[in-house]
Amino acid sequence: MTSHRLIFIRHGETDWNVESRLQGQHDTPLNGRGRDQASAVGRQVRDWRGPDLADLKFVASPLSRTRDTMQLARTAMGLPPDAYDTDTRLLELTFGRWEGLTWEELKARDPWAAKAREGDKWNFTPPGGESYAMLAERLTPWLASIDRETVVVSHGGVARVLMALIANIAMERAPKSDIHQGRALIFEAGRCYWL
């Protein structure tokens, strides 16, 4: 899907992450730990990639948790915090009417839908939301537009879809992958690995 290296950073922790709430496209802020994670991953990328980071493209989802992560990471890299682009195609998949619920609340309210989602996470669409398959359709043109090595700050769902599109991880497995906060996921040469 792209011949250029992607350095993927998931946004830092939010209180909704801690509570296991479905954030989707709801705009939740970083908490203190998330801010620390953002700075730490910036230092990690700087130490791994070297001092010529200014030559890379930087792009983030437009939600505040990703923009704040990008700004803190760029500061830790020794770069101006605001010199990056945003792209709405990098938004998290939306959980529709499920956003704001915890997984436990969802299972209690709609056990059938929760079970159906577990049976086919890639194709299941929450009420008023998106499936991973739909997110893949949104991300494919963005991937085609990548013209150089890029640092991306986005969301767990986006990383899972990139794992399928770039690293050929099976659609059954990719949506179940753990996407860490405070670490960088590198996509290159048809594979992915964590720093």
Residue range(s) defining the domain that contains residue 33: 8-194
Instruction: Please answer whether residues 97 and 106 qualify as being in contact, where contact means their C-beta atoms are separated by less than 8 angstroms.
Output: no
187 forms beta bridges with 6, 192
State both tokens at 64: 């505040």
Q: Would you say residue 169 lies in a domain?
A: yes
Structural element, H or E, at residue 18: helix 15-18
Q: Would you say residue 2 lies in a domain?
A: no
CATH of the domain at 50: 3.40.50.1240
Residue 11 falls in the annotated catalytic set: yes
Euclidean distance between CA atoms 53 and 150, whole angstroms:
10
State both tokens at 130: 């998106």
Q: Which residue type, as a one-letter code, is found at position 64?
A: S
Predicted local confidence at residue 51, as pLDDT: 81
Closest C-alpha to 132, from 117, 144, 143: 117
Q: Would you say residue 71 lies in a domain?
A: yes
Q: Would you say residue 88 lies in a domain?
A: yes
- Number of residues written out for the chain: 195
Whether the per-residue pLDDT at 86 is higher than 90: the answer is yes
Q: Would you say residue 116 lies in a domain?
A: yes
Predicted local confidence at residue 172, as pLDDT: 95
Q: Would you say residue 3 lies in a domain?
A: no
Residue 155 pLDDT grade (very low, low, confident, very high; cuts 50, 70, 90): very high
pLDDT tens digits, 22-79: 999 999 999 999 999 999 999 999 999 998 999 999 999 999 999 999 999 999 999 9
Instruction: Please answer whether residues 31 and 15 qualify as being in contact, where contact means their C-beta atoms are separated by less than 8 angstroms.
Output: yes
Read off the pLDDT of each residue in 152-163 and give the average, rounded to a whole number. 98
Read off the pLDDT of each residue in 93-115 and give the average, rounded to a whole number. 95
Catalytic residue among 13, 92, 99, 130: 92
DSSP, res 12: P
How many domains are there within the chain?
1
Among positive and negative, which fits the CA dihedral 71, 8, 1, 117?
negative
Predicted local confidence at residue 61, as pLDDT: 98
Residue 188 falls in the annotated catalytic set: no
Catalytic residue among 11, 13, 99, 130: 11
Predicted local confidence at residue 95, as pLDDT: 96
**Higher-confidence position of 29 and 3:** 29
Residue 1 pLDDT grade (very low, low, confident, very high; cuts 50, 70, 90): low
Instruction: Please answer whether residues 154 and 130 qualify as being in contact, where contact means their C-beta atoms are separated by less than 8 angstroms.
Output: no
Read off the pLDDT of each residue in 166-179 and give the average, rounded to a whole number. 96
Q: Would you say residue 51 lies in a domain?
A: yes
Q: Which residue type, as a one-letter code, is found at position 112?
A: W
Q: Would you say residue 1 lies in a domain?
A: no
